[in-house]
Amino acid sequence: MEDLQLILKKEPKYRLKQVKEAVYRDLIGNWDFALTLPLSLRKQLNEKLPLEIKAEIFDSRDQKTTKALIELQDGNKIETVLMRYSEKRNTVCVSSQVGCPLSCTFCATGKMGLIRNLTADEIVNQVLLFGRIMKKEEDKVTNIVFMGMGEPFLNYDEVIKAIKILHDPEGMNLGIRHFSLSTSGITEGIEKFALEKMEVNLAISLHSPTQELREKLMPIAKKYHLTELFKAIQSYQKITRRKVMFEYLMLQDLNDSMDQALQLSKLLRGLSCMVNLIPYNETGVYKASSTQAINNFRRILEDNYIEVAQRYRFGEDIKAACGQLAIRKKG
Ligand code: SAH
Ligand code: SF4
């Protein structure tokens, strides 16, 4: 944006609007297609701010999922996934960091460690890339989830900036309620997020009803205890009055027992929330719960008046499903 403003310094004011329309609405991939701009400006923009996004694209067999392996300017790579849920819903799952420092034991990204945070532009570019792909299909991106690589609340400012750009009516104009952000439970992030006055959906990766097991699955839980986490969620809800979603990974013989379903029901009693039961995508560590175990678990929650949804598996054959995103080091 700063570079753009510099280039547009001598141009009339309405140029910025024209530029935004070309990039976010017309989804051009080269300034030559920005027909409202003078030729000399298009040339200058192509030289100084090229719109090309370098990426390798993989489609799942059923054509519902597309994964992009994007090469950033410094050579680092990230993955972004598009899920075509229905005619009306095309969701882009964006990454917020290259890698992730939190080392959750079940997550492929966690094994990479943190390489660096992404800038807001790099987050927005992931959506632009899929916007361009959807345009070719005469369709568009409708929803954004921050559930790709990285912990969004450890890159707070750039994530918020990206949401604002994507939501901007002069930009992509995506409805604010069509954004969801998933956190492993960084309480400072949750508290800060409550004050943003943004109606973005908040999801919390819970995965266990007890502190002891949660610590084993997610080392960061040692720093952010369950009691602290729930205090933060309560204060978030007091301010926003918004329902939260709890993500619960179903791991065979680890967190999928009847007892644990009861413990979870107790923990969530009285909270405005829903639980998303996530089938575990194997990353070589644990085993996924059986369908029967998931159904039994679900029934107990529902018997205790807890709203439950089951996550559909997308793009396993191209390693695009939750927790499978990881980039191997070069060489
Ligand atoms: N760092 C954030 C957001 C990215 S991970 C977080 O942890 O919430 C998005 C979701 O994918 C999280 O709920 C995470 O627990 C889940 N996930 C990680 N590895 C997974 C795997 N192997 N199978 C299924 N879900 C996984
Ligand atoms: Fe990071 Fe989320 Fe993976 Fe944990 S699950 S390592 S927080 S990306």
For residue 246 and ligand 1, the question of a CB distance below 6 A is answered with: no
248 forms beta bridges with: 277
Ligand in nearest proximity to the CA of 204: 1
Q: What is the pTM of this model?
A: 0.95
**Calpha distance 148→296 (Å, rounded):** 29
Write down the domain spans for the chain. Answer: 1-52, 53-318
Q: Among 270, 188, 303, which residue's Cα sits nearest to residue 236? A: 188
For residue 184 and ligand 2, the question of a CB distance below 6 A is answered with: yes
How far does residue 43's CA lie from ligand 1's centre (Å)? 42
For the segment 219-244, the average pLDDT, to the nearest whole number, is 98
Residue 331 clears pLDDT 60, i.e. is over it: no
Yes or no: say if 138 and 82 are a contact pair by the CB < 8 Å rule.
no
**Calpha distance 119→135 (Å, rounded):** 25
Neighbours of 221 (CB within 10 A): 25
* pLDDT at residue 2, as a whole number: 81
**Calpha distance 251→285 (Å, rounded):** 10
Q: Longest C-alpha distance within the chain, in Å?
A: 69
**Calpha distance 133→143 (Å, rounded):** 15
How far does residue 262's CA lie from ligand 2's centre (Å)? 26
**Calpha distance 131→139 (Å, rounded):** 8
Q: CA 150, 152, 158, 159: dihedral to nearest 10 degrees?
A: 120
How far does residue 141's CA lie from ligand 2's centre (Å)? 24
* pLDDT at residue 115, as a whole number: 96
Per-residue pLDDT reduced to its tens digit, 67-113: 999 999 999 999 999 999 988 999 999 999 999 999 999 999 999 99
**Calpha distance 111→100 (Å, rounded):** 8
For residue 322 and ligand 1, the question of a CB distance below 6 A is answered with: yes
Query: What is the average pLDDT score of the chain?
Result: 94
Ligand in nearest proximity to the CA of 94: 1
Yes or no: say if 203 and 244 are a contact pair by the CB < 8 Å rule.
yes
Residue 216 clears pLDDT 90, i.e. is over it: yes
**Calpha distance 202→193 (Å, rounded):** 9
Name the one residue in this structure whose structure tokens are 């369908």: 291
For residue 150, give the ligand 1 atom closest to its CA. Answer: 1
For the segment 210-233, the average pLDDT, to the nearest whole number, is 98
Q: Which two tokens stand for residue 237?
A: 């809800």
Active site residues: 79, 322
- Dihedral of alpha carbons 271, 274, 275, 278, sign: negative
Residue 330 clears pLDDT 50, i.e. is over it: no
For the segment 194-214, the average pLDDT, to the nearest whole number, is 97
Is 206 flagged in the annotation as binding?
yes
Name the one residue in this structure whose structure tokens are 């559930």: 147
Q: Which two tokens stand for residue 256?
A: 């999928």
**The CATH number fitting domain 53-318, selected from 3.20.20.70, 3.30.470.10, 3.40.800.20, 1.20.1250.20:** 3.20.20.70
For the segment 8-30, the average pLDDT, to the nearest whole number, is 95
Percent of the chain with pLDDT over 70: 98
25: CB partners within 8 A, 6+ apart: 172, 173
Q: Which residues of 73-87 are buried (b: 16+ CB within 10 A; e: fewer)?
A: eeebbbbbbbbbeee
Is 182 flagged in the annotation as binding?
yes
Per-residue pLDDT reduced to its tens digit, 32-77: 999 999 999 999 999 999 999 999 999 999 999 999 999 999 999 9
Percent of the chain with pLDDT over 90: 89
Ligand in nearest proximity to the CA of 283: 1
* pLDDT at residue 328, as a whole number: 65
Name the one residue in this structure whose structure tokens are 């559909």: 312
Per-residue pLDDT reduced to its tens digit, 243-258: 999 999 999 999 999 9
Q: Which phi-psi region, left, alpha or beta, contains residue 51 (left: φ > 0; alpha: ψ -120 to 50)?
A: alpha
Residue type, 159: V
DSSP code per residue over 40-102: HHHHHHHHHS-----EEEEE-TTSSEEEEEEEPTTS-EEEEEEEEEETTEEEEE--SEEE-TT
